[in-house]
Amino acid sequence: MKIKVMSSIGIGALALSLGQSTVYAQEKGIVTATALNVRSGPGLNHNVKGCLYKGNAVSILETNNGWYKIQLSNGTTGWVSSTYISQTNTYGKTTANLNVRSGAGINHSIKTVLKKGEVVSITKSSNSWYEIKTSSNITGWVSSKYITIINESSSGNTNNNPNSSAGNNTNANDKTEAIINLAMAQLGKPYVWGANGPNSFDCSGFTRYVYLNAAGISLPRVSYEQAKSGRVVSTSALKKGDLLYFATVTPGRTSHVGIYIGDNQFIHASGSQKNPDKVKINSLSGYYGRVLLGARRLY
């Protein structure tokens, strides 16, 4: 289906006048669709006033039945489907070693250097630059060319049609995105034995919290019972959002769980009662690949 997209709204553009609005909440969001129509009101029956593109940052002013009233950095406002706006925390992964600069441009000083594969929080965009925050709480600007947004659904058939109806969060792609978003938002929170969140977790408390609050999926409390949920998935056919289970104590017996996030990586509440750690991302290569018992698909 060919989509006719009207005039573009760049983050710094002043070409459109969508009207001003009082900012009720300064929540941020990142566009996840390839192209997203901005309308004059909350619904498909309203006129298309412009278009946003993947990676554009917006402020969320209001919500209305699956639609967000958004504001750009130049003050223009309009309505977009909430399905294609990922609220912060929004995360990206570096595709190369990458300089973090004090401003949006190569003329600004270098604050630090990220290694390829590092995950950062994206807080703002300006032209082809992202303002980011690292896991060590360093803030700065990086070229968006070398950042891949990772809190999107895993399958190749994600519906990025900006004219799609809003508010339908029941399909697998929407659940995947919600699960990854919520899981990533917990990065850095401490491991506490027996904790169920939202401020601290143990491994099965973390997975139960994420699946329940992001997708309405209720899991048993303990890891070896969670490993019986859903349906078996081959570890050679993993998709984002799959539950992974591991034998980290006794060979062949589930004692740890996490959530697959793509690119051979998973997120989990790492640690034990004697050696607590935090919610973090690890690779399935090396140790965790050796102790991986299997995967379950829950939706």
Which tokens is 297 given?
Answer: 């698909």
* Alpha-carbon distances, residue 58 vs 10, 23, 139 (angstroms): 11, 12, 19
The verdict on whether 256 is a catalytic residue reads yes
Euclidean distance between CA atoms 101 and 128, whole angstroms: 13
Euclidean distance between CA atoms 157 and 155, whole angstroms: 5
Euclidean distance between CA atoms 100 and 29, whole angstroms: 21
Helix, strand, coil shares, percent, the chain, to 5: 15, 35, 50
Closest by alpha carbon to 31, among 67, 93, 82, 79?
Answer: 82
The verdict on whether 51 is a catalytic residue reads no
Q: Active-site residue among 46, 51, 108, 268? A: 268
Residues with Cβ within 8 Å of residue 28, at least 6 apart in sequence: 57, 58, 59, 60, 87, 88, 90, 123, 124
Is the Cβ–Cβ distance between 240 and 153 less than 8 Å?
yes
Q: Active-site residue among 46, 51, 108, 203? A: 203
The verdict on whether 46 is a catalytic residue reads no
The residues annotated with a catalytic role in the active site are 203, 256, 268
